[in-house]
Every structure is written in structure tokens, then in C-alpha cells.
Amino acid sequence: MNTLARTELRQRSDYTHRFNEQAGRHGWLRLTPAYSVRVVDELMDRYDGAARVLDPFCGTATTALSAAYRGYEGVTTDINPFLVWLGQAKTAQYSNADIASTQRARERLICRLRQGNLEPVKAPPMHNIKRWWSKEALKFLCVLRAGIEEESEAKSPERDLLLIAFCRTLIDLSNAAFNHQSMSFKEDGQLRLPIDADMEHIFCEGLRFVLRGAENNPGGSGKVVLGDAKNLPEVVDGQFDLVITSPPYANRMSYIRELRPYMYWLGFLDNGRDAGELDWCAIGGTWGVATSRLSNWESPQLSFNHPLLDAPLREITLGKNKNGKLLANYIAKYFNDISAHMKSLAPVLKSGSKLHYIVGNSVFYGILLPVEKLYAALLESLGFEDVDCSAIRKRNSKKELFEFDVSASWPG
């Protein structure tokens, strides 16, 4: 390995160390920004003894994990089966025996990699896969994936922990760069990884990081359920004291698209059509078939209406851009879905329970969509009390974009 490669690896491992100190399991796949963990932790600090905490939009299970670390019961739902798997692995309790058997599985795996007698799995059928990984990296990942299958039992704690380390590795070896909200590719010739990087070492470092997080078991419990937040009584049992959640933002970002490398490698996706179908079920999804369906989407008669929504919808539809109608449909459907979600909350809330929605506003072609005010209006229209919006932070260089905490209480 050349000096540049060694320095880069050292820097990465310093970074890993610092991140681990701050984030533990929260940072397993580097998908959860540290500030999100902080916001959730600070909110949870306000509620002493919040026994049952619900997050209807699990994502990387920040709320459920934070609740479990405080000794509470954290329950969370997501429409994406990959995130449900990840959330279950993050909130699980790992015994010393689980950690030790994962270490033994790693040793067997490394032996097999060095012996070179593993039959590689097929590379996943991702569009333009060569853009993601060099030939060498792809070959290594196919062999590593095969070794994990052979050296750990399906659905065991060892398998989950090895697969999380595999997920870290596939991103470390890729040409993808994670910006704040979405993923992009490094230009050719500016690959993230030095050509002669030690891929086996990168995997082992990733696993070390994962195992350190796994050692620190939460005192409470976490339950992660696959289901639709538009129909909560069918998905979760009992009632909750506190809801802390960050719903999808109305910003056309597709979580399925962003997570596709993990989802394809782990077998949660095997074609673009299914990816689009899944995105269509997700609130705010816009990938593939989800976009084509949006063009013909008709808002139902009892859809959510509000002057703060009608005005931007009209301006966007009549504006000069050619996608105005599609975009207006996207926004109308988004609020329709969020309204269905909020309507499904009442049966699962205890009287006097508190809610916090961490949500950002949006700007489309210079037209501001006051998402936080619309959330507040929706909650008020459904009988929630003490509804309040407070700005938490500025989101990026666009001066209008902020993140808000929209809070309320349920009188029951």
C-alpha cells in the first residue's frame, strides 16, 4: 500500500473512532447525522419517564434507539423493509456470546478470503453498477458477500452484524459521495479509495466499529415494525406517551433511491420496477413508476385543503416551468398522505401524550411551501392542542430553508 493510501486509511480510522465516541450504534451506517441524534435526545430529555415512545417514520431508528438507551420502550414503523431490518439490528440486545461468535465468524471468513476458495455471489442487478465500484472492488464485495453467507447462520446476530459491516464496506469501496441529503458520484479519476487500498482491512475496521456499538446494550427495548404510518392502529399495539419523529420532507427525495446500494446487495430489491412500486407506497416517493403515476394522480374529494397550501399549489401549477402540474400533484399527494397518517394517530395515543414532528419547509421554483405551518394547521384541525412551531436550525445555503419542531398534545 502506498503512503497516500495509508494516510487516508489512518484518517478514516480516526474519523471512525471519533464518530464511535459520539454515536455508537447511531453511526453504524453513517446515515444518521449527529445533529439528528442530538435533536431527538434533547427532546427526549424534556420528558422524564416517557414509558412508551412511538416513531411512525423509523428511518435509521434514531428515536427507538434513543428511547431504548433511556430505558423506555421505543416502537417504530417504516415502509422500507431494509430500514426495518437495520432498525431491528440496531435496537437488538447483543450478548457477549454473540459478539464472540461474530469475531469467530470473522476469523473464519478472513481465512476463506485468503485461501481464495469462495464462490463469489453474482453482482446485484443495479443499473450502471460499474459507475459505483471498480472491477476489483466489485469482485471483492461478491466474494465477501459469499463468505458471510457461508460462515454465519441466516437470521443470526452474527449474520446481522457482519452484514452491517458489509454495508459500511460497500460504501467505503464505492465511488459514491454522501452529501448532506443525497448521494452523488465522484468524477472518474477522483475515486474515493486509493487503487491499492486494503479492502479486507477496511471490512475488518468496519466490523470492529460495529462490534463496539453492539457491546453497549440499551437498557430499554426497541420494536421495529414493517408497516404504513397512514394506518397506525393496524401496525402497532397499545397506546403511547410520546411521539418523536422526522417524517419524509416534501422535497422530492426518494429514500429508496438513496438506499439502493444497500437494498440491492442485501436482496431487498432486485429490479427497478419493484423499487418504483415501493417508492409509490412511501410518502413523498418519486422514483421510477412513482413519478409516472403522479402525473395522472387525482386528489380525492376529501383531501386536505388549506389556504396556505392552495396558494403555492396554484402558483406552481400556473408557473412557467413545464413540470408545474406534476409538482403540484406531488405536493397535494404528500399532504394527503400526511393527513391520512395524522388521522390514524388518535387511537394509538394516550390522553395527554405529546408529539414532536421534526420537519423542513421547501421551496419550489422560488415558491415557499410553509410545511411546518401546514403540519400545525392539520394537527389543529384534528383536535390536537398546544400546537406550536419552533425553528430548530437553518438547513443549507438557501436562506429560506429551515428545520422546525412542530409540537402538540393530544387531549384524548
Ligand X SMILES: C[S@@+](CC[C@H](N)C(=O)[O-])C[C@H]1O[C@@H](n2cnc3c(N)ncnc32)[C@H](O)[C@@H]1O
The binding site for ligand X (CB under 6 A) comprises: 32, 36, 57-60, 62, 77-80, 83, 228-230, 246-248, 255, 282-283
Query: Is the alpha carbon torsion for 280, 285, 287, 291 positive or negative?
Result: positive
Full 3-state SS string of 238-278: CCEEEEEECCCCCCCCCHHHHCHHHHHHCCCCCCHHHHHHH
DSSP state of 123: P
Taking the least distance from each CB to ligand X, the nearer of 203 and 335 is 335
Taking the least distance from each CB to ligand X, the nearer of 247 and 288 is 247
Taking the least distance from each CB to ligand X, the nearer of 325 and 395 is 395
Taking the least distance from each CB to ligand X, the nearer of 143 and 389 is 389
Q: How many CB atoms lie within 10 A of CB 255?
A: 24
Minimum Å distance from CB 143 to ligand X?
31
Minimum Å distance from CB 59 to ligand X?
2
Question: 174: helix, coil or strand?
Answer: coil
Nearest to 47 by CA among 76, 74, 15, 86: 74
Question: 409: helix, coil or strand?
Answer: strand
Minimum Å distance from CB 92 to ligand X?
17
Taking the least distance from each CB to ligand X, the nearer of 91 and 152 is 91
Taking the least distance from each CB to ligand X, the nearer of 57 and 330 is 57
Terminal-residue alpha carbon distance, the chain: 64
Residue 293 to residues 10, 279, 309: CA-CA distances in angstroms? 48, 11, 21
C-alpha cell of residue 391: 425553528
Minimum Å distance from CB 216 to ligand X?
18
CB 215 within 8 A of CB 92: no
Minimum Å distance from CB 204 to ligand X?
27
For ligand X, the nearest residue by Cβ is: 59
Side chain identity at 21, as an amino acid letter?
A: E
Minimum Å distance from CB 144 to ligand X?
26
